[in-house]
Structures are given as C-alpha cells and as structure tokens.
C-alpha cells in the first residue's frame, strides 16, 4: 500500500516537475549543524531531507540528527540507510532499498531482512526502491561491494531498472556515488526513463544548476544533493539547483 510520504512525493512531482532532496550524511555532520543545514535546505525549497551515509554506523547520533531536524523543519525526513544501523524511529519514512548490483547478498536482501522487523516496530513507512550503482560509485560502491555498471552501457542499467519494476519496486535510485566528479549521464537517465515509469531518483556528483537541469531534463523525478551542503561557500548553489529543476518534466 502506498503510504502518506510516498503520496506526498508523487503529488509534489506531478505539481512541480522535478523536485530536490537534501542529503545529510550523519557521519560527517554534527547534530546541531545538521539541523541548520536542513532548515536552510527547506528554505531553498527542497521537498525532503534524506539522512544516511555509506559508513553510518552510529545509530544514536543518527537518531539525534533526525530528532534535531524534525524539531525545526516541516518537510519529511526520510532515511537513506546503507545498513541496519541507518534506522531511526523518529523519521517519517525509509527508502527501503536493495543494492541490486551488489556482489554481496548482504546488501541485496540480508540487511533488509535484518532491518525489516525494526522498520515494522517503529512504524516507519517503507518505500520500496531498487538502488543501482553506476561506475565506481564512490564510498557506497566500495562499502556495498557494487559491481558498478560501466557508465557507457545504458542498456545494462535499463536491465536492472526493469527488473526492479517487475519486482514491484516503485522507486529506482541511480547512484553515481557521493562526491564523484561526474553525475549519472543523461543518456543513462533517458534510457531508464523509457523503461521505468515509477519514481526515478538520481544522485551523486550534482554540483550546480547546470548539472541538475541536465539530469532533470533527461527524466529524473527527484535529484539528490549531498556533498555540496558540506561546504558553506557552496550552499547558495542549492537554491539555484532547486529553482533550476522546477517545472522541468523529463
């Protein structure tokens, strides 16, 4: 059943075209700073704050961050875990993802099975998502043992996205890796848009409005910006990104 947060996201995309999420890495951001960044991002017009990180193992800190953000923002806080330690009872929802092109079954289904009872116990809305790492994939490529799909092979990415659709996943996240120098190419996004009619998230290496508009025009419903928000001087670029992708319908 589609939950409240997913309905909200679908509504925002159908009203606004491509929407933006801010990602806060719970390992790199102190709790007080996280709340400030989230509040700034909300003012810039992002529609949700993702909290996660490929090496996020401190669940207590993660929970503190989620609570701090919830205190001062109105937009939903959605967990973006890389492991069972990425679950907090105080978030609004969780991107319940499977790293489809991992070589290690742990990241495809075992961590999900271990975490499932906790998600149920906390009453978190689970958003079913296929997570696909393209290229080297930065930290998550390494931690998640991803067999990164060559960036010049859109057909291979499409195979995974179709498989996600046929398995009932309503979201697909195309990940280039946090802080990488080039985002997922428009040729890959266009190809996926062609075969996948669910919600398409794209993240990794989106550093300015030019990148963001390219990704949005190619067909992303949601773009994710993380690393940019770790540098105060670069933060103003966020509002340009949010404004830039608004009303773009890929």
Task: Please pick, from the candidates 227, 237, 245, 248, the single residue that binds ligand 1GP as defined by CB under 6 A.
Answer: 227
Task: Give residue for tokens 């996943």.
Answer: 169
* Binding flag, residue 204, ligand 1GP (CB under 6 A): yes
Q: Does 205 bind ligand 1GP (CB under 6 A)?
A: yes
Nearest residue to the partner ligand 1GP, using Cβ: 203
Q: Which of 75, 73, 23 is nearest to 48 (CA)?
A: 75
Structure token digits, residue 183? 């985002």
Task: Tokens for 157, please give them.
Answer: 């990415």
The pair of three-digit structure tokens given for residue 52, joined into one six-digit string: 């996660």
Residue 177 Rama label (left phi>0; alpha psi -120 to 50; beta): left
**Residues 186/214, Cβ–Cβ less than 8 Å:** yes
By CB under 6 A, tell whether 226 contacts ligand 1GP. Answer: yes
Q: Which stretch binds ligand 1GP (CB under 6 A): 28-36, 70-78, 97-105, 204-212?
A: 204-212
Only one of the segments 40-48, 61-69, 92-100, 220-228 lies at the binding site for ligand 1GP (rule: CB under 6 A); that segment is 220-228
Say whether residue 178 binds ligand 1GP (CB under 6 A). Answer: yes
* Residue 86 or 226 with smaller CB distance to ligand 1GP: 226
Site membership for ligand 1GP, residue 225 (CB under 6 A): yes
Distance in angstroms (rounded) separating the CA atoms of residues 38 and 69? 6
CA atoms of 117 and 87, how far apart (whole Å) = 11
Q: First-to-last CA distance in the chain?
A: 26
Q: Does 20 bind ligand 1GP (CB under 6 A)?
A: no
Number of neighbouring beta carbons within 10 Å of residue 104: 14
Cβ closer to ligand 1GP: 14 or 51?
51
Which of 154, 198, 203, 244 binds ligand 1GP (CB under 6 A)? It is: 203
Determine if 179 is a binding residue for ligand 1GP (CB under 6 A): yes
Q: Which spans of this chain sit near ligand 1GP (rule: CB under 6 A)?
A: 23, 175, 178-179, 203-206, 224-228
């Amino acid at each position: 059943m589609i939950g409240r947060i997913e309905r909200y996201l679908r509504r925002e995309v159908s009203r606004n075209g491509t929407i933006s999420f801010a990602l806060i890495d719970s390992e790199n951001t102190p709790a007080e700073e996280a709340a400030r960044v989230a509040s700034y991002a909300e003012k810039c017009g992002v529609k949700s704050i993702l909290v996660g990180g490929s090496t996020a193992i401190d669940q207590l800190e993660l929970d503190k961050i989620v609570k701090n953000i919830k205190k001062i923002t109105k937009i939903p806080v959605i967990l973006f875990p890389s492991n069972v330690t990425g679950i907090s009872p105080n978030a609004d929802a969780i991107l319940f993802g499977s790293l489809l092109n991992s070589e290690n079954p742990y990241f495809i289904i075992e961590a999900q099975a271990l975490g499932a009872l906790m998600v149920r116990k906390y009453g978190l809305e689970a958003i079913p998502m296929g997570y696909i790492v393209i290229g080297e994939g930065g930290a998550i490529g390494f931690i998640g043992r991803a067999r990164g799909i060559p960036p010049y092979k859109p057909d291979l990415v499409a195979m995974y996205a179709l498989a996600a659709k046929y398995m009932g996943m309503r979201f697909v996240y195309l990940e280039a890796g946090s802080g990488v120098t080039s985002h997922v190419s428009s040729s890959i996004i266009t190809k996926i848009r062609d075969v996948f009619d669910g919600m398409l998230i794209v993240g990794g290496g989106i550093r300015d409005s030019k990148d963001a508009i390219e990704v949005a025009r190619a067909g992303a419903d949601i773009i994710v910006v993380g690393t940019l928000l770790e540098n105060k001087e670069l933060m103003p670029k966020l509002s340009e990104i949010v404004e830039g992708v608004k009303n773009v319908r890929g």
